[in-house]
């Protein structure tokens, strides 16, 4: 069993058609399917050399020709147990190919995928967040290359939906830390809680245009994103119930200039959330704030506040 990367057309231009029709397609139209099936490599090299010179008016390096033929042979000889991968956008697609190559009318060569292409692992999870060494395959100058060593092991593990022990351990530690930070947030007094919210939004790229707190009804923070110039308003409460949220939602009608509004509370009373009538409205509670604090490097600040 082997793993091969294939570039489906120049810059991946064939990719979506190949996924749709459940095929792998190879170019190298200078050489016909019949010549590949009947000819020896030395004859293919001669044909490549002559036809490229006729087309371009200049010679092609012998090493380049050898590499072309290697890729063609790989496409024709790869086994049904071998895996093929392609990269499109932020996703990895994979398939296995039925033995046998079929020539198309345009001179390209086709193999049919066993069960079609998939961009999910065997557990149904999307194949995104790929390692840099795998993403770098998209810069490969040729059409087909073997994915070997640690990269092969990684690809097979991702396809099977297996996780590394280090990932499981780190994920468990991450969730435990989020839970601990959430508990800390729920014990914060009103002033420290508002400072935390202010820090989170600042670390998220927002610039405050009003002081934290104050007496203006509805707004505790008036923030602007400098890059987009979008304005958001934030109301911060240590405790709140459904009625508080409904009042905030009602008051938003008077703030049409704001692209988003956040109702932030660390200790909701009862069932807080209802379906919003204003799609600008977002609710943040202790769990979401804990994740944001960890993401933006505020875990140490929170831990020190819990002494």
**Strands 102-103 and 207-208, how do they pair?**
unpaired
- Say whether both 155 and 184 belong to one domain: no
Write out pLDDT tens, residues 83-108.
999 999 999 999 999 999 999 988 89
DSSP state of 253: G
Asked if 141 contacts 69 with a C-beta cutoff of 8 angstroms, the reply is: no
- Say whether both 130 and 171 belong to one domain: no
pLDDT at 57: 64
- Say whether both 139 and 208 belong to one domain: no
pLDDT at position 290 over 60: yes
Residue that terminates a domain, selected from 108, 132, 160: 160
Task: Give the chain's domain count.
Answer: 2
- Say whether both 203 and 223 belong to one domain: yes
Handedness of CA 62, 66, 69, 71 (dihedral sign): negative
The number of beta carbons lying within 10 Å of the beta carbon of residue 194 is: 20
Nearest of 293, 190, 291 to residue 239 by alpha carbon: 190
**Strands 230-241 and 260-269, how do they pair?**
parallel
- Say whether both 121 and 179 belong to one domain: no
Helices 165-186 and 286-295, interaxial angle, to 10°? Answer: 120
- Say whether both 251 and 124 belong to one domain: no
- Say whether both 151 and 232 belong to one domain: no
pLDDT band at 219 (very low <50, low <70, confident <90, very high): confident
pLDDT at position 115 over 80: yes
Residue that terminates a domain, selected from 126, 160, 194: 160
Write out pLDDT tens, residues 12-64.
899 999 999 999 999 888 888 888 888 788 888 888 787 776 666 676 777 88
Write out pLDDT tens, residues 269-279.
877 766 666 78
pLDDT at position 216 over 70: no
d(CA 94, CA 91): 10
Range of the domain at 206: 167-305
Residue that terminates a domain, selected from 133, 160, 187: 160
Residue at token pair 């200049």: 58
SS3 assignment for 278-299: CCCEEEECHHHHHHHHHHCCCH
Residue at token pair 């557990």: 123
pLDDT band at 218 (very low <50, low <70, confident <90, very high): low
- pTM for the whole thing? 0.69
The residue that leads in pLDDT, 42 or 233, is: 233
pLDDT at position 215 over 50: no
- Say whether both 88 and 109 belong to one domain: yes
- Say whether both 78 and 211 belong to one domain: no
- Say whether both 30 and 115 belong to one domain: yes
């Amino acid at each position: 069993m082997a793993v091969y990367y294939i570039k489906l057309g120049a810059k991946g231009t064939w990719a979506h058609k190949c996924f749709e029709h459940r095929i792998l397609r190879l170019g190298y139209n200078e050489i016909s399917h019949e010549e590949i099936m009947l000819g020896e490599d030395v004859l293919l090299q001669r044909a490549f050399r002559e036809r490229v010179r006729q087309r371009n008016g200049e010679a092609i390096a012998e090493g380049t020709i050898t590499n072309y033929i290697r890729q063609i042979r790989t496409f024709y000889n790869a086994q049904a147990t071998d895996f093929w991968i392609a990269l499109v956008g932020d996703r990895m697609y994979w398939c296995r190919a039925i033995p046998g190559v079929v020539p198309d009318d345009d001179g390209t060569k086709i193999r049919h995928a066993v069960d079609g292409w998939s961009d999910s692992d065997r557990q149904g999870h999307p194949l995104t967040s790929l390692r840099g060494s795998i993403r770098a395959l998209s810069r490969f100058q040729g059409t087909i290359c073997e994915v070997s060593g640690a990269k092969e092991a990684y690809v097979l593990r991702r396809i099977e939906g297996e996780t590394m022990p280090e990932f499981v351990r780190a994920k468990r530690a991450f969730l435990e830390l989020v839970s601990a930070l959430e508990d800390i947030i729920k014990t914060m007094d009103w002033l420290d809680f508002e400072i935390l919210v202010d820090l989170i939004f600042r670390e998220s790229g927002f610039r405050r245009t009003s002081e934290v707190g104050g007496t203006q009804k509805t707004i505790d923070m008036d923030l602007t994103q400098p890059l987009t110039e979008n304005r958001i308003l934030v109301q911060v409460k240590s405790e709140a119930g459904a009625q508080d949220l409904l009042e905030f939602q009602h008051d938003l009608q008077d703030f049409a200039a704001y692209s988003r509004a956040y109702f932030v509370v660390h200790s909701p009373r009862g069932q807080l959330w209802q379906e919003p009538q204003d799609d600008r409205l977002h609710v943040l509670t202790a769990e979401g704030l804990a994740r944001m604090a960890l993401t933006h490097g505020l875990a140490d600040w929170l831990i020190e506040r819990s002494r």
